Amino acid sequence: MPVVIQIEKDDIDELERALNLTPTAVSKKPTNEYEAFRIQIKNGIVVCYTSGKVVITGAGPVEIVKDTIINLGIRDASSRFILGSDEAGKGEWLGPLTVSAVILTPVKSSHLRAEGVMDSKKLSLKRIAGLAQVIKENAEIVETVLISPEKFNKMFQDLHEENKNLNDLLAWAHAKAISKALEGIDSLDVKIVIDEFSRFKTNQRLSRVLQVDKFEIVQRPRAEEVISVASASIVARDAREEWIDRASTRLGIELKSLTPSDAKSHSKRNKFAKVEWLK
């Protein structure tokens, strides 16, 4: 099975130059406009696409490519630690809302990128489960806030009565996960990166639990390009999937086989579904 690694677009040319220095490297002509380069190494092929996606076929080049990516250098060494937070289950009716915060050093970020950590939306569930364990073994701190469907339904109703919405709930959950993670780090030299959804509400919630002026806080679109955020997306997704599997056993229902129509009419829907998402 091919190994897939995501690098930043700015690193494509440097990776190509470095791989071409490998003694067994033979540069091949790209087969289409989407390929940035194609190199044969030992008994395998390395293809890098213009998106930064690297696909390695054959066992020979795998460790060579991983070591080369690690040796490309650390992209963000402006802080001692980088904290990323991301959520899973925000738009799905089934299962909980999970928000994870992951703290990495720049060195560990580089290693996890080489292991294939990327936005969880690009990964299979099997790959997510495996990478979640790798992340937990390498991260300084991993914290997850899990809001079960039953709790989510109650909180969402309370927010609605206060003329608030999902972004208020997300801001609360991100702030809680981030503050819990920071409790485990004896340092203020932490860069906090969050996938942007509501800048004002997130800052408002963070200011209640943190001295926000002590940290560099970045809210940006496509934050999963930052490895700590990609790691958080993987851990949050894995926690959500594990909860669904456990709930299926506990409730005696194969939850993943239910349709929204099935769920809407089910007597136990409040225990496994975000009921507002079924309307």
**Residue 102: which of 241, 237, 235 has the closest Cα?**
235
Report the pLDDT value the prediction gives residue 175, as an integer from 0 to 100: 95
Q: Do 216 and 121 share a domain, yes or no?
A: yes
Which residues lie closer than 8 Å to 61 by C-beta, 6 or more apart? 41, 42, 44, 45, 46
Total count of domains within the chain: 2
Handedness of CA 234, 235, 239, 245 (dihedral sign): positive
Q: Do 62 and 122 share a domain, yes or no?
A: no
Q: Do 119 and 243 share a domain, yes or no?
A: yes
Report the pLDDT value the prediction gives residue 143, as an integer from 0 to 100: 98
Q: Do 89 and 135 share a domain, yes or no?
A: yes
What domain range is 112 assigned to? 81-272
pLDDT of the chain along its 279 residues, tens only? 899 999 989 899 999 999 999 999 999 999 999 999 999 999 899 999 999 999 999 988 999 999 999 887 666 667 799 999 999 999 999 999 999 999 999 999 999 999 999 999 999 999 999 999 999 999 999 999 999 999 999 999 999 999 999 999 999 999 999 999 999 998 889 999 998 888 888 989 999 988 888 999 999 888 998 999 999 999 999 999 999 999 999 999 999 999 999 999 999 999 999 999 998
Q: Do 200 and 169 share a domain, yes or no?
A: yes
**Residue 235: which of 133, 113, 162 has the closest Cα?**
133
Looking up residue 24, the CATH number of its domain turns out to be: 3.30.310.10
| Helices assigned H by DSSP within the chain | 12-20, 62-71, 106-114, 125-138, 149-161, 166-182, 199-209, 227-251, 260-264, 269-272
Q: Is residue 277 part of a domain?
A: no
Q: Do 140 and 240 share a domain, yes or no?
A: yes
Q: Is residue 163 part of a domain?
A: yes
Q: Is residue 194 part of a domain?
A: yes
Q: Is residue 278 part of a domain?
A: no
Q: Do 9 and 134 share a domain, yes or no?
A: no
Domain boundary among the residues 48, 71, 94 is at 71
Instruction: Give me the numbers of helices (H) and strands (E) for the chain, helices first please.
Output: 10, 10
Dihedral of CA atoms 155, 157, 160, 164 in degrees, nearest 10, equals 10
Report the pLDDT value the prediction gives residue 15, as an integer from 0 to 100: 95
Domain boundary among the residues 37, 71, 105 is at 71
Q: Do 189 and 155 share a domain, yes or no?
A: yes
Q: Do 67 and 86 share a domain, yes or no?
A: no
Q: Do 142 and 254 share a domain, yes or no?
A: yes
Packed helices 227-251 and 125-138: angle between N→C axes, nearest 10 degrees: 120
| Backbone region of residue 8 per phi and psi (left: phi > 0; alpha: psi in -120 to 50; beta: other values) | beta
User: Cβ–Cβ contacts within 10 Å for residue 83, how many?
Assistant: 29
Q: Do 156 and 246 share a domain, yes or no?
A: yes
Which residues lie closer than 8 Å to 35 by C-beta, 6 or more apart? 47, 48, 49, 50
> How far is CA 59 from each of CA 55, 56, 144, rounded to the nearest angstrom?
12, 8, 35
